[in-house]
Amino acid sequence: MSSQPRSEHVRRSARIRRVLEDVLRRREAGEFLADAAVFEAHPDLLPELEEELKLLRLMESAANRAGSCDGLTAGRMSGSRSAVLKGTWRGRRRWDPSFCELDPEAIPGFRIERELHRGGQGVVYRAVDAVTGRNVAIKVTRDGPFGGAHDRVRFEREVRLLERLHHPNIITVRSSGVAAGRFYFIMDYIEGLRLEEWAAGAGAGTSSHSSQNGSSVSHGVRPTRPVNEVVNVFATVCEAIHAAHVRGVIHRDLKPGNILVDAGGRPYVLDFGLAKAFGEGSHHGNGAETVTGQFVGSLPWAAPEQVVGSSAAVDTRTDVYALGVVLYQALTGRFPYEVYGPIAQVTSNIVNVVPPSPSVFRPELNEDLCTLVLRCLQKEPERRYQTAGEVARDARRYLAGDPIEARRDSTWYLIRTQLRRHRWAATFAGTVLLFVFAFAAYAGIQARNHALLAKQEKEARIEAEAARRAALTAQTEAENAAEAAALAAEEADAAAQRARHETERAQAVTRLLVNALGLTDPNVSRRPDLTLVEVLDDATAQVESASWEAPGVEAEVRSVLGQAYASLGLLGEARRHLARAVEILRSSEDTPAQKLYESLWPFYHVQTDWNDVWAHYFGWELQGLGARILTERSTELGEVLQRVRVTNDPAQLREELATMRGTASRILAADDPMWLLVADQLYLFGYRRSYRNDPILGCALLDAALELYRERLPEMHMRIVRTLGVLIPTSLDAGLSVEAEALARRTLDLLREVLPADHWYVDAHEVRLAVCLVAQGRLDEAETALKANLATLEKTLGPSSSYVAEAHRGLIELYEARGETATAEAHRWEFARCMTLSTLAPSWSETSSRWMYCAVPACGKEHEALHCAMDDLHAALVEKSPDTGARALALIETRRKLLSDEHPLSGVVADVMTTWMNHYQRTVPRESALALLEDAVRVATRNPWMNPRKVASAHWWYGSFLTLVSRYDEAERHARECLSILSGLVDQDYSYRAVARSLLGGCLIHQARYEEAEELLVDAYSEMVRALGPDDANTNIALNRLLRLYMLTDRPGFALATCRDHARRSRKPATLSETIFSVMWPYVVRTDTSETTRSALLEMAAIAVDGAPDHPSYLSMYGAAKLRTGWPDAALELLDQARKTPQGGGSGNAAFTALTYQALEKWDEAEDWNERFEAFLKPGSKPSENFKLLRAEIQEGAARRAATTP
């Protein structure tokens, strides 16, 4: 209800009703009464009167179309027609801005609050996004007698055109669909004023979006807004319109009512309902015509070529004319000519009347500004600005105080214009003058020197061309300079903001260090025996109790603390701080990719030293993040690095590395920080090669990384030390023991310069040096070092450390070389125990060849048969042999014969098998894989040395494989056991727990225990997004399960909201596209889904296509969803686009193409595509459920057609 008192509202409604009845009566009598004249007579009834007249116009239009066979004339209506209109109008709802005829929950994922505007194109509502709480505007087709195919086609065109436009000053269409039988699309909601209200100086609170998709007519209100503010907003509008023109869209209905200005003075262009694409006629799609079938637009703002009905002449310059009218109004509060009165007179004014200069009504206006306005309002399109971009540039020049390019019309042009307007009088006067001057003119012409005239004309043409080129050059240079200046200003602002943030972080870290160092002073702490660990613990207490206003500062402080703990070998504490730092940075959408990358590096190294099962996931993330940053900087550099990564030939790798170095040198300056990312990529490539049994390639990559690091970093930098630490064992594996020794000694020299002599990292590298000596046969020298450092490493890092395992492995090789079998066997047992206790899987990387690092030293001669059985299975897995299942069962039998479940080596075998089944799950027959995993769980639960995380992992993998064979109750038991073990750990890994909760939730879904599943999956998904990131494989598995749950419980709005939120966070949208397709395709295929579900499916399909625009499956799904929501033309276009991709369309594409042609009643084409669809089913193969559903639907459509055809 209006904010007015009810009695006033009733009186006002009664007056409006009387005015409308008077309009109906006068039009019935034959008077051609324009709406504008009604507005002028009753300005106090606006804007409600304007809304009612719009609806009356629609009713008249419908009546004219319905009764065209009665021979009615355009300006008159019959008495019966008038009676019908009066009855229809009186029976409609009373005007009430709070009225909302649509169900508030009709649009999935949104809550409709109130109606904003009702017009000829549809109804606009304000709504709230159910997930984000953000306001949106939703435009819905009309219902009742004025809705139908006409509106659907127009809506489809409008959505299709708006999808082309992505500009900050054009209202963005978020999605579209069908709800409650009506088509809709969702736009950004703008809280603002219509342009003429804003120019008149109205406050921000005067209006609130009521004009979104609306219109208005100025009523002579004098603008009070400063001229420069108006021109600045106008220039921005012109830039937005120019962007639309560049993308092939002409607005055709520009007016102040279609431009909103928010409280910050930022304009937005609305309502492309009458827009057309280049090359379309005004009748395209039956959706662009007005009542007359000729004129398209709003008359007061129309260009001459519009009002005469010349659709072929309507182009971008038509919008330029409308922009001129809009600016004229905004500056003067008036139209450039009279627009009230009979239509014939108004049309004549638009075509013929030369507008007076705006300075006539507002003398303070600058001459250049008036020239700009009048240039837009030229009657001939070729004399106007040719593009809206030119208008914007001249407006910007005016604001900058520079001369504009447009010039005033010449006196001769004005005379010619007046002569055209008064041509009969001019003809008579001209005839008299002709006879008077004819002879003199003839004599003068004959006396001229023809040669001189030709020369002068040629020189003038040359000078004009030179001037034109100089002007164009100057214009281009000026535009480039202006653009560069704007970019520089933006970059300066961004740099200043970054500098402020960096200063805050630096100050916080400095305060932390000052406080920590202050504690080491006995006079401050009163504790002369305070250790560095206690200092860090006190600093941690300060961090935990602090109130952090800037999360980025907390992340920086925790990163410093984490690295400090790591340097002392306190990896648990280090891991906790670094994980929190990464989580904070992930949770902020404003975190630059470079900042997250820098924070991930120390966390990744601590995870690796900790032997964490997730370490390699972070390695992959670092590699992908670094590659994306580099590719954004230079596509060429990203491509050459990709070639380096996949090259398997040493000689070719050397060539690619040389090419990479040359490319980087050409693109990057010598001091560019991107060089470090290049080196990091090479380090990660080499690290993975070293663990894939490719030591030659690994050495080449690590050497290249080391060279780049040394050119840009101090020798003692941790990146250099880490690279050397990986290069040493890789060189040993490559048979380069002498080179490995030199590297080990150089690394130790560096470490001893910066670390205490008894630091664990020094001990670890002394072990590596000793292993190099073993390889050279210098056993006595090596033995002393290995024994001494083994003891210190076990004490510092514990028996599960990979560095302790490395020392045992060196001693095994040493004693075997000496022939001391018993001593070697003792260390072999310890080595197996160490690897079983470790959190890191023996086959660390994504491949399995590294298992020999663990299994061969642990087996020895006594268990050679076990080693052979593992080797046989490994070969079968790699070769995808049909004997894989038999060899898997043989390995189980061999292990049980040689080892008890409690033996440490059984733990190693179980661990290796668990990881192999992960990597080779598509190679091993299901039953054999389940037997291997069942044996692994048996060992894990009985072996006293098995790390609890590995026990949990065995349960998790067995549960995962059980779901593949639909044994969900058993899978649930193992998922719960996994979760129980993880929950009991002191140092809990919440991301691992989240993965286990996700598996358990998936098991419960298949048992229809949806409420229990939802609680688990929501928590698991949220935790994984925070800890692992939205693009991690496990996160997307949890998302997949959560979406399935929402669809199974008939909550497509929740699924849609979750997809929207994930898309906003994700840096790899193609991964989300794959998830959406796998979950939603079966629902798109079905015909029994609700309208709400279909609308949600349509928007999710759009999200999938946004993530991978050229993927045929996602395009086909989008096309199918368009068909399901009643948009067959758009469906056909998308399905055709899918088939044009390199992969082509599949069976689903063919089926939906057939169904689309059926919907369009093109039966020959439908039959052709049905045959193509059937051809996808190979002879003897069993059709899938989706195939059978689509086949039945096509056959049903064909049967319906046959039944209705004689």
For the stretch 831-843, pLDDT in tens is 888 878 876 544 3
For the stretch 1166-1187, pLDDT in tens is 999 999 999 988 887 888 999 9
What are the angstrom distances between the C-alpha of 1064 and each of 168, 591, 702, 1060, 1093? 18, 14, 36, 6, 22
> If residue 188 lies in a helix (H) or strand (E), which one and from where to where?
strand 182-188
For the stretch 1019-1039, pLDDT in tens is 999 988 887 788 888 899 999
> If residue 193 lies in a helix (H) or strand (E), which one and from where to where?
strand 192-194
> What is the distance between the alpha carbons of residues 257 and 215, in angstroms, rounded to a whole number?
4
**Over residues 117-144, mean pLDDT:** 80
> Is a pLDDT exceeding 90 seen at residue 12?
no
pLDDT mean across residues, the chain:
79
Peptide bond into 336 cis (omega under 30): no
**Over residues 982-1005, mean pLDDT:** 83
Structure tokens at 77: 């209506």
**Over residues 83-107, mean pLDDT:** 54
- For 102-139, the DSSP string reads S-TT-STTEEEEEEEEEETTEEEEEEEETTT--EEEEE
Max mean pLDDT among 150-159, 806-815, 874-883, 1042-1051 falls in: 1042-1051
* Amino acid 381: pLDDT: 92
SS3 229: helix
SS3 504: helix
SS (H, E, C) 771-827: HHHHHCCCHHHHHHHHHHHHHHHHHHHCCCCHHHHHHHHHHHHHHHHHCCHHHHHHH
* Amino acid 611: pLDDT: 61
The dihedral formed by the CA atoms of 388, 393, 397 and 400, expressed in degrees to the nearest 10: 110
> Is a pLDDT exceeding 50 seen at residue 415?
no
* Amino acid 402: pLDDT: 84
* Amino acid 99: pLDDT: 46
* Amino acid 607: pLDDT: 77
Closest Cα partner for 1161 from 1204, 1120, 1192, 1191?
1204
**Over residues 493-514, mean pLDDT:** 54
Which has the higher per-residue pLDDT, 279 or 425? Answer: 279
Alpha-carbon radius of gyration of the chain: 39
Q: Which residues lie closer than 8 Å to 773 by C-beta, 6 or more apart?
A: 741, 779, 781, 782, 785
Which amino acid does the sequence have at 1124?
A: R
For the stretch 384-405, pLDDT in tens is 998 898 999 999 999 988 888 8
C-alpha dihedral sign at 656, 657, 658, 661: positive
What are the angstrom distances between the C-alpha of 465 and each of 453, 471, 478, 739? 18, 10, 20, 72
* Amino acid 179: pLDDT: 78
> What is the distance between the alpha carbons of residues 230 and 479, in angstroms, rounded to a whole number?
22
SS3 633: helix
> Is a pLDDT exceeding 70 seen at residue 460?
no
**Over residues 134-146, mean pLDDT:** 74
* pLDDT tier at 508, thresholds 50, 70, 90: low
**Over residues 757-774, mean pLDDT:** 89
SS3 940: helix
> Is a pLDDT exceeding 50 seen at residue 523?
no
For the stretch 679-724, pLDDT in tens is 999 998 888 887 666 788 989 999 999 999 999 888 878 888 889 9
* Amino acid 101: pLDDT: 62
* Amino acid 8: pLDDT: 61
The full set of domains in the chain, from first to last, is 6-91 (no CATH), 100-189 (3.30.200.20), 191-409 (1.10.510.10), 611-712 (no CATH), 728-819 (1.25.40.10), 966-1049 (1.25.40.10), 1066-1206 (1.25.40.10)
**Over residues 1068-1086, mean pLDDT:** 92
With a pLDDT cut of 70, the percent of the chain lying above it is 76
SS3 1197: helix
Closest Cα partner for 298 from 251, 354, 330, 345?
251
**C-beta separation of 974 from 962 below 8 A:** yes
* Amino acid 600: pLDDT: 84
Q: What count of Cα atoms within 13 Å lies in the side-chain half-sphere of residue 971?
A: 24
> What is the distance between the alpha carbons of residues 132 and 308, in angstroms, rounded to a whole number?
48
Residue 1139 burial (C-beta neighbours within 10 Å; 0-12, 13-18, 19+): middle
Residue 1085 burial (C-beta neighbours within 10 Å; 0-12, 13-18, 19+): buried
> Is a pLDDT exceeding 70 seen at residue 1050?
yes
**C-beta separation of 579 from 1027 below 8 A:** yes
> Is a pLDDT exceeding 90 seen at residue 673?
no
* Amino acid 522: pLDDT: 39
* Amino acid 506: pLDDT: 53
What are phi and psi for residue 118, nearest 5 degrees?
-130, 125
* Amino acid 988: pLDDT: 57
Predicted TM-score of the model (pTM): 0.56
Which has the higher per-residue pLDDT, 22 or 646? Answer: 646
With a pLDDT cut of 90, the percent of the chain lying above it is 31
